[in-house]
Amino acid sequence: MQTKFPLATVGALVTGPSNNVLIVKTTKWRGSWGVPGGKIDWGETLETAVKRELKEEVGLDLSEIRFAVAQEAVLSDEFHKDAHFILLNYYAVSDHEIITPNEEIEEWAWVSPQEALEHPINSYTRVLIEDYISSLTLKQ
């Protein structure tokens, strides 16, 4: 009998020079939009995983990486197959907004955080963006 464990993943809500954030539509979230990210490799630190995943999926180099929220997705209908994820989400900054997508990225958009909420985003990304908007409000 095979034992299954949750998969640890990282993702990042990236802010570009325009102060807009990047959202992407991927092949894995049943047509909904989210943020770039993926699985953490064995022996890889979380920050290294965030940098690698964003470079692989959208071609961005990140700075100012900071932890945002942790979430759990257990057999979510939003994902294309049965999975149990621990989602470790970050905020980060990119000094440019030129996207070089890999095969997982179907579409992308740089939008204001409020505009992002108007897209058909997955529920986990909604939590992340709402947290981001709250953090901006607290700074003002």
CATH number where 114 lies: 3.90.79.10
Whether residue 2 is predicted with pLDDT greater than 90 in this model: the reply is no
Task: Report if residue 1 sits inside a domain.
Answer: no
Q: What residues make up the domain containing 89? A: 7-139
pLDDT tens figures, 31-48: 899 999 999 999 999 999
Judge whether residue 99 has pLDDT over 60: yes
Asked if residue 73 belongs to a domain, the reply is yes
Say whether pTM exceeds 0.85. yes
Q: Is the pLDDT of residue 133 over 90?
A: yes
Which tops the pLDDT comparison, 4 or 51? 51
Taking alpha carbons only, the member of 75, 101, 90 closest to residue 40 is 90
Q: What is the mean pLDDT of the chain?
A: 95
Q: How far is CA 121 from CA 7, 25, 106, in A?
A: 21, 8, 14
With respect to residue 35, please indicate whether it lies within any of the assigned structural domains: yes
Give Cα separations from 138 to 64, 86, 99, 131 (angstroms): 19, 27, 30, 11
- Please report which confidence band the pLDDT of residue 1 belongs to, taking 50, 70 and 90 as the band edges: low
Q: How confident is the model at residue 3 (pLDDT cuts 50, 70, 90)?
A: low
Domain count, the chain: 1
Q: What is the pLDDT of residues 7-18, one digit of tens each?
A: 999 999 999 999
